[in-house]
């Protein structure tokens, strides 16, 4: 039986299903003939139009902190929970640390409690590639390295979510999987003040503006194409030996910011070039990219999308949806 066949006829919950990853995951679950996909999203970072219009999809605009909503959702006895909802972004967490703790800490705990109560088959938690590593970890980043010296509340609270997953796995036997995602981008990613660099670069480049590169430009990150991340999420949900595991989910490739900016300018035919700006106070990490050897071994995860092809596909999506993207972007 192929791992993708396991979702046919099943009920899945996707929190944060109106975001970049969530919207694409929901669409893929409908293609796999899931009986029902329940999306819970308060639209604080996502967009209603990102949720596929499909008979199997139920959209609930609400916070994961609302007990009545969770009672309604888990009455459906879902087999799978993909927990993507988050108070997103390091900078936003610094500005609103209590909100970050409420959603990323208490919200995750509530979902785990309900998942245990109804006997969910698999709970997949999306952590972050910065959650356990801080700024001083050796690269490539491996899952065995953990530090308590983290740079932002977002990193602290994502690590807290991982610890709650460990507790529910060890104490209650709830099948949890923790995936540390690295800079996911692609069609569906809307630019904005707290969004990742790639949609912002593309948005500005298509308007003929210079791209602001922070620091020296030699700082590097691991950029993961969204459909590669969705494939990893589905593998984590379906493959038995993934239970209890913590795995990096990136591309396993390192890209310098200056190279990314030049690539976006070339693909968009933007002649405005780049401009240099200072780094954010909290950003002390010069290099960050993932070792994905554990995900390869456990999930047979081999992300195929090279950064150039991923950017080309994302630019094409931007051009096809530019008016809607412009109306949704908040800076």
Residue spans of alpha helices (H) in 127-243: 153-167, 197-205, 226-238
pLDDT the model gives residue 279: 81
Q: Are 85 and 21 in contact (CB under 8 A)?
A: no
pLDDT the model gives residue 229: 98
Q: Are 39 and 58 in contact (CB under 8 A)?
A: yes
- Is the peptide bond preceding residue 140 cis, with omega within 30 degrees of 0? yes
For the question of whether the overall pTM of this predicted structure is more than 0.85, the answer is yes
Q: How many CB atoms lie within 10 A of CB 149?
A: 8
Q: Are 22 and 48 in contact (CB under 8 A)?
A: no
Closest to 122 in 3D by CA, of 86, 173, 194: 173
pLDDT the model gives residue 1: 65
Q: Please state, in angstroms and rounded to a whole number, the distance separating the CA atoms of residues 47 and 49.
A: 5
Q: Please state, in angstroms and rounded to a whole number, the distance separating the CA atoms of residues 23 and 205.
A: 25
Integer angstrom CA distances of residue 165 from 78, 106, 154? 18, 12, 17
Fold identical between 7-184+224-249 and 186-222+253-279+304-328? no
Indicate the class that CATH gives domain 186-222+253-279+304-328. alpha beta
Q: Which fold has domain 7-184+224-249?
A: Rossmann fold (3.40.50)
pLDDT the model gives residue 94: 95
Q: What is the mean pLDDT of each run of 10 residues along the chain (331 residues)?
A: 93 98 98 98 97 98 98 98 96 96 98 98 96 91 94 96 98 98 98 96 98 94 98 98 98 97 98 91 85 98 98 98 97 92
The domain ranges of the chain are 7-184+224-249, 186-222+253-279+304-328
Tokens of 180: 């540390």
Looking only at the bridges linking them, the beta strands covering 255-256 and 220-221 are: antiparallel
With residues binned 3-state (H G I as helix, E B as strand, rest as coil), the percentages for the chain, rounded to 5, are: 45, 20, 40
Closest to 188 in 3D by CA, of 86, 81, 52: 52
């Amino acid at each position: 039986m192929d791992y993708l066949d396991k979702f046919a006829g099943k009920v899945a919950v996707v929190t944060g299903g109106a975001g970049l990853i969530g919207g694409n995951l929901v669409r893929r679950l409908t293609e796999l003939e899931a009986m029902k996909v329940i999306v819970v999203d308060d639209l604080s970072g996502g967009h209603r139009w990102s949720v596929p219009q499909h008979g199997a999809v139920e959209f609930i605009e609400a916070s994961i902190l609302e007990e009545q909503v969770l009672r309604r959702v888990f009455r459906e006895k879902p087999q799978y929970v993909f927990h993507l909802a988050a108070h997103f972004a390091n900078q936003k967490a610094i500005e609103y640390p209590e909100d970050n703790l409420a959603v990323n800490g208490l919200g995750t705990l509530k979902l785990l409690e309900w998942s245990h109560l109804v006997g969910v088959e698999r709970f997949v938690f999306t952590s972050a590639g910065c959650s356990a590593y801080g700024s001083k970890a050796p690269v490539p980043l491996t899952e065995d390295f953990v530090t308590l010296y983290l740079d932002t509340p977002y990193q602290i609270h994502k690590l807290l979510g991982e610890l709650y997953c460990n507790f529910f796995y060890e104490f209650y036997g709830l099948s949890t999987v923790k995936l540390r995602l690295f800079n996911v981008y692609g069609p569906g990613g809307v630019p904005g003040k707290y969004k990742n660099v790639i949609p912002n670069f593309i948005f500005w480049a298509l308007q003929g503006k210079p791209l602001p590169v922070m620091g020296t430009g030699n700082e590097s990150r691991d950029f993961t194409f969204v459909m590669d991340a969705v494939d990893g999420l589905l593998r984590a949900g379906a493959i038995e030996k993934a239970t209890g595991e913590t795995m990096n989910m990136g591309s396993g490739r390192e890209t310098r910011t200056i190279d990314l900016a030049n690539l976006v300018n070339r693909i968009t035919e933007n002649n405005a070039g780049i401009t240099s700006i200072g780094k954010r106070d909290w950003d002390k990490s010069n290099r960050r990219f993932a070792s994905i050897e554990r995900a390869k071994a456990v999930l047979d995860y081999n992300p195929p999308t090279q950064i150039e092809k991923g950017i080309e596909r994302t630019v094409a999506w931007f051009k096809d949806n530019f008016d809607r993207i412009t109306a949704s972007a908040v800076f």
